[in-house]
A and B are shown apart, each in its own frame.
Chain A
Amino acid sequence: MMTGETKGETVFASSTIEPAVRVETKRQPLPPRERLEQVFDIQDLTAIYGSKPALKDVSMEVYKNLVTAVIGPSGCGKSTFIRCLNRMNDLVPSFRQTGTIRYHGQDIAGRDVDPVAVRRTIGMVFQRPNPFPKSIFDNVAWGLRVLGMKDDLSGRVERALTQAALWDEVKDRLKASGLSLSGGQQQRLCIARAIAVEPDVVLMDEPASALDPIATQAIEQLLHDLKSEYSFVIVTHNMQQAARVADMTAFFSISRGAEGERSGELIEYDSTEKIFTAPSDKRTEDYVTGRFG
């Protein structure tokens, strides 16, 4: 059973399958998808490392002010997918991608688009906490200085740390090294660093996989509190986590091509409620009921 709050109503009581995870968080029903504002419109995204296809023909939309979870077994291309969304894969020399990623209508996948400009509005939090070996203050302030947001620097740092629910724990030792914090605190520091520069979207690549349950809960609470201001895309291999935090869930899996080559593909994308209670694809059902993965 889940570790989070249980005071919320049981929304998914009318479950038609028996999921391995029971979803019991307070949750507003989603408006119909056509009324939601699109942040990303991804069409036929195919990603290749060297000659190894990592993702094939992914098409989906990501909506504003929602938490979108990407779940699936190891090697299904979840990380590759979200790293496409802010051009982080550009760092890998052998990486190639085809298809379009429209961000508020503008293609960001093209070679002529400056990846630095993309990353300024689409921030990222990584799997392992990776604070800079600088002070807590400078960890948050560095990005602000780089982007020229130097007015009211300490106010911005405080706001970001407060939003990341870390301010009370670190306000008396802002000059201490970011590395002196615990793992959970470090990850919240990384979240503060990401949101300090006021991005539009925050991508999170398994942000809680290296953390203990209590730190994980703190991060999940953060997502609830902050989604009114940002749009989140979160990769997780933890189904409970997706069920707790996400409004929309995309299930990726590994498919085999004609010559037996493995690549990730999007199996099903729908509201979290639908994915966990009434998935339309057998593979999704097998995964969320714990029969596979």
Chain B
Amino acid sequence: MTTNRGSKREISLVVNGERRTVRAYPMERLLDVLREQLSLTGTKEGCGEGECGACSVLLDGELVDSCLIPVAQAEGAQILTIEGVAENSRSNALGEAFLECGGAQCGICTPGMIVAAVHLLDRSSAPTREDIREALSGNLCRCTGYLQILEAVAEAARRTAAR
């Protein structure tokens, strides 16, 4: 057991499939470590209080708000960010569907929305409209009114199942 007052420590994580080690204060937010130290700026800050979901990532396969996670608690974890999603061809169906269905307008909520959708489609290959709504209800969007996002996720699910 270690206690380090005001000093950085080495924290090891797997980010988008790659092992990374960062030097950070334990209470640095996972969001800030991803964005600033690992230059993965796709994950956004919208509120800093776990309400908007713009900072959503997958941590050990679970959808979480990275603005609420001290990086020390992510020691040894597998993190998936939007950059990792974009590289994966299965998850690319989501990106394509968002483009075709108008799921992205200003784009700032889009990374979080797509990560939340990945989390859903990892668990459910034929989600209902209600399932999709619930899965995305922690991601706020101000531009789209949500409907084209829900349609994009449904379309991506259909295409993925069809493969």
A joins B in a complex: no
